[in-house]
Amino acid sequence: MTRYFKAAQCAAAAAMLLVLAASSAEAQIRRVESRNSFGFNLGYFMLKGEDSRVDEDVLLADLSSLAFDLSDFNGANVGGEFNFGLGEYLEAGVGVNFYQRTVPSVYWDVVSDDGFEIAQELKLRVIPFSATVKFLPLGRGGVEPYVGAGIGVFNWRYSEVGEFVDFDDDSLFRDRYIASGTSVGPVVLGGIRFPVADVWSVGGEVRWQKAVGKGLFEEGMLADEIDLGGWTTAFTFHLRF
């Protein structure tokens, strides 16, 4: 009887080990199959410099008479994205970001009759919607470097508000000029993600975008286009499921 009892104990122990092994394998399979993710990013957008902007850019035109730096438009960028797996090495994503910056300016060499500077506020807002495909050369699981490209739809708004000079008669007046629209252009990106838990990962990303807004002449501005291109560097946080 004791021999049978010991055999039963061994069988039960073996069965328990099989259950634990199966559970562990199932958990690993589930982790591998977690191909979808929802992400947040917090970054910094850098507008293109003077040497690479389009010729009819309104900011270049403004620099001829107003005192500000293009780098003043560099600023914070926040966004979110949803990624879904297309296989072990490919991933598609859709996302939206938000950037807005207000830059103070004055005329270079003109002041009011009482000697005060003539001031304005230049404000640019860009909300990019993007659809991208990423290639993960090491596949899923562990550290995940990636490169990708796609298309962006850029909703933008640019305004100039404050005091201005009519150089025909040197008179001073207050006004506001506002232009807005939607432009389309390419997006190229690269980054890396590090797992920090079963479902969380953190990382970094660099993204380049190219787009041009048009129709600013109709709103009374000095040029007809605004270059929306530039670079974004960001910290990323992803929840996998």
91-116 residue pLDDT tens: 999 999 999 999 999 999 889 888 89
- Residue found by looking up tokens 């079963």 in the block: 198
Tally the domains of the chain: 2
- On whether both 90 and 26 belong to a single domain, the answer is no
Same domain, 204 and 236: yes
pLDDT at 105: 97
For residues 18 and 113, state if they share a domain: no
- 108 and 16 in a common domain: no
Question: At 96, which CATH number?
Answer: 2.40.160.20
| pLDDT per residue as tens digits for the range 217-238 | 999 999 999 999 999 999 999 9
- Above 50 in pLDDT, residue 5? no
Identity of residue 230: G
CA distance 189 to 232: 9
What are the distances in angstroms from CA 201 to CA 28, 40, 140, 147? 17, 11, 12, 17
pLDDT score at 19: 35
Give the pLDDT mean for 140-150: 94
Q: What is the pLDDT of residues 171-222, one digit of tens each?
A: 899 999 999 999 999 999 999 999 998 889 999 999 999 999 999 999 999 9
pLDDT value, residue 8:
40
pLDDT for the residue 208:
98
Q: How far apart are CA 120 and CA 229, in angstroms?
A: 24
Residue 119 backbone class (left: φ over 0; alpha: ψ -120 to 50; beta: rest): beta
44 and 28 together in one domain: no
**Residue 66 carries which side chain, given as an amino acid letter?**
L
Residues 227 and 155 in one domain: yes
Classify residue 130 by burial, with Cβ atoms within 10 Å: 0-12, 13-18, 19+: buried
- Could you give the CA distance from residue 226 to residue 158 in angstroms, rounded to a whole number? 8
Answer yes or no: are the C-beta atoms of 120 and 164 closer than 8 Å: yes
Question: Is residue 74 located within the same domain as residue 101?
Answer: yes
How does pLDDT run across 43-97, given as a tens digit for each residue? 999 999 999 999 999 999 999 999 999 999 999 999 999 999 998 999 999 999 9
Are 199 and 157 members of one domain? Answer: yes
* pLDDT value of residue 160: 98
The answer to whether 133 and 148 are in contact (CB under 8 A) is: yes
Same domain, 63 and 22: no
Q: Is 149's pLDDT higher than 50?
A: yes
Tell me the Cα Rg of the chain: 28
pLDDT at 3: 41
Q: Which residue range is the domain that position 91 belongs to?
A: 36-240
Do 1 and 102 lie in one domain? The reply is no
Distance CA 66, CA 60 (A): 10
For 8-28, the pLDDT digits (tens) are: 444 444 434 333 333 443 344
pLDDT at 11: 41
Query: CA-to-CA distance for 15 and 21, rounded, in angstroms?
Result: 10
- pLDDT for the residue 34: 56
Q: Are residues 11 and 98 in the same domain?
A: no
Segment 115-120 mean pLDDT:
93
Same domain, yes or no: 195 and 233: yes
Q: Rounded distance, CA 228 to CA 209, Å?
A: 8
